[in-house]
Amino acid sequence: MLLNWYDKNGRRLPWRVRGGAHPDPYVILVSELMLQQTTVKTVIPYFQRFMERFPTVQSLAEAPLEEVYFYWQGLGYYTRARSLHATAGIIVSQYGGKFPQTRQEVLKLKGIGSYTVASFLALAFNQPETVVDGNVIRIICRLYNLTEPVDEIAGLIRQKAEALTDRTCPADYASAIMDLGAGICTPKNPQCLLCPWQNFCRARGLENLENIPRRKKSGKKEKTGFVYLIHNNQNEILIRQRTEKGLLSGLYEFPWSEEKLFAEAEDTGLEVSHVFTHIKLTLRICLRQDNDVFDNGRFVPTAELSAYPFSTLMKKVYQKFSAR
């Protein structure tokens, strides 16, 4: 029933094939890591650009990490880029370029947890793995009218999801149930009349349907700080590369801090905000003239900034300043 619906209504995506496993597991690996905490619509252009530059696992393994960051910039969650690059190296050096096909071996790769390993094995090798993401959790909870908090019934949700998993066409089934959650059984305004499982759904027509599943609300912390655009006498601008630990590590940025670094810096009155996973960060843009390099920074011509991988936040900073 679901597979018939998928055959007619499933999304056409650049990393997707129908009728079984994808012929190139590398394509699935890249797409799965990009899709972690990121929407399909956002990922598509990044995926296409990334695959044009790194069409094989070998090409990715041989590339410098900084170049990988460059092609990932703007997508966020840069730990995924490091993990993908590291995994490509492992596949080439330890597996001769061939991907492992067992859960135990795949879990040894970087950036792959319980959800991603199931999705990868189902889509790349057509193995009967049960994929349980946010879409699947919502579908299962509504289908069986499970109104307890998700954290308390995680085992029951997985049990029911496993019972529904198609064992003959697991790759198509994994894609189908994700599409069902993305386009039909949506958080708000679900399209129940178009759902292939509408006759079996115990929550259909209930007033509290949109409140299923029950999740704990987590508020975002708000932080503020100062970001400095520092120019030297040649009108070059100071940038620095973040360390390999912490938020946005490995990317370039303008010096910033939660506390003021320079009391005499010019306050432009401009602010830029960006929302990360659990933090909303607002930076006040300040200007400074200085020829000294500090904190492992370097001065570069402003015309060359586009050659460096910057986070979306830092791009916002420079765009806001340039448009003043």
Which of the residues are catalytic?
Answer: 32
Alpha carbons 133 and 295: distance in angstroms, whole number: 41
In degrees and rounded to multiples of 5, residue 261 shows phi and psi of -90, -35
Distances (CA, A) of 293 to 237, 245, 263, 288, 299: 10, 22, 18, 12, 7
According to DSSP H, which parts of the chain are helical? 2-9, 25-35, 40-53, 57-62, 65-72, 79-95, 103-106, 114-125, 134-143, 154-164, 170-183, 312-322
Tell which residue, 43, 42, 65, has the closest CA to residue 54: 65
DSSP assignments along 225-244, one per residue? EEEEEEE-TT--EEEEEPPS
Write out the two tokens for 144.
């069986």
